Amino acid sequence: MKKKKVLLFTILLTIFLIILAGCNTESSGNSEGAGVDYPNQPIEIVVPWSAGGSSDQTARALAESMNSSLDQNVSVVNREGAGGTIATTEIAQEQPDAHTILFDAVGVFTTQPHLNDVQYSIDDFKALTGLTYEPIVLAVNSDSPYETIDDLVEDKDTRISYGHSGAGGLPDLAQGAFFDQAELEAESVAYEGQNPAVTALLGGHVDTVAGHPGSLMQHVESGDLRILGVFSPERFDNLPDVPTFEESGFPIDMSVWKFLLVSQETPDDVVNELTKIVEEAMGNQQYKDFLDTANLTPQEITGEEVMERLKRNNKEHGEVIDNLGL
């Protein structure tokens, strides 16, 4: 009798353990299949510069690519001003959820904090991925007397006015560093974005503009603008005949790279899900064709690499600013 009770208890215990294991397996399977509830509302990509520039164009191309695979709408909102710091400050302080994505550029985190009392830091954000790399080039109007970098350097009698997309941005610092090294009298003129700066150059309101090829090449191809030099260590593939400033004796490296951020409070699982969505969109052939047409180079680095590089560039660009006495 005692053996029968032991046997019965063993059987019942075995059945209980089997049922329990089945419940755990089912629960685990449901958890894995459920995924992350994102996105569950429209997504906004915030661009801290005016419409029409290379950042705006890239964000809109990316949004269109994301829209092709999502049920929720992805749109672009421009909040220009103060070299990208206004929109960056707003998002750093408001900490919206991941349905608000910030499209930003290196200088906002590596030059602006050295020049202004900004109310944000990279620690207020989490990075999704790198997007693009763009060399900065120096352009003049086609009727300008300056045919080469040397022509500019030799004109010691003229006070040059140079336009750019915002005080403290890399296009501003690149020109400032050049005119300082060349010992030329020059005046900085800031505009609310690259597109207005290019418009000013086309209208003859400034003598030079530094900017990205994406916003300048159409005017170069039309014969309205001329590019004198590239602010990077190597020549730009799409402008093989244009020398670097380093070749002309001015070792200036100011290249812009861009990336996507979300608020620091965003849960890691949502960050991972959004990163997958963005990376899928970046692999879309239509988006790749846009980059090629816009003369943009993909900068495919991870969110972690974005954060590491920004901290490193912050130190490097700070040293440049100190050397200029800004």
In the chain, where the domains are located: 43-134+256-324, 137-230
Q: pLDDT tens for residues 254-265? A: 888 999 999 999
CA–CA separation, 53 vs 58, rounded Å?
9
CATH of 137-230, one of 3.20.20.100, 3.40.190.10, 1.10.1740.10, 3.30.460.80: 3.40.190.10
CA–CA separation, 130 vs 27, rounded Å?
36
CATH number for the domain running over 43-134+256-324: 3.40.190.150
Q: Is the pTM of this model over 0.75?
A: no
Q: Pick the residue with more confidence: 293 or 278?
A: 278
Question: Do 43-134+256-324 and 137-230 share a fold?
Answer: yes
Query: ω into residue 39 within 30 of 0, thus cis?
Result: yes
pLDDT given at position 14: 53
Q: pLDDT tens for residues 49-104? A: 989 888 999 999 999 999 998 999 999 999 998 889 999 999 999 999 999 999 99
CA–CA separation, 123 vs 14, rounded Å?
53
pLDDT tops 80 at residue 27: no
What are the b/e assignments for 71-96, b being 16+ CB within 10 Å? eeebebebbbbbbbbebbbbbbeeeb
pLDDT tops 90 at residue 287: yes
Q: pLDDT tens for residues 135-188? A: 899 999 999 999 999 999 999 999 999 999 887 778 888 999 899 999 999 999
What average pLDDT does this structure show over 113-134?
Answer: 94
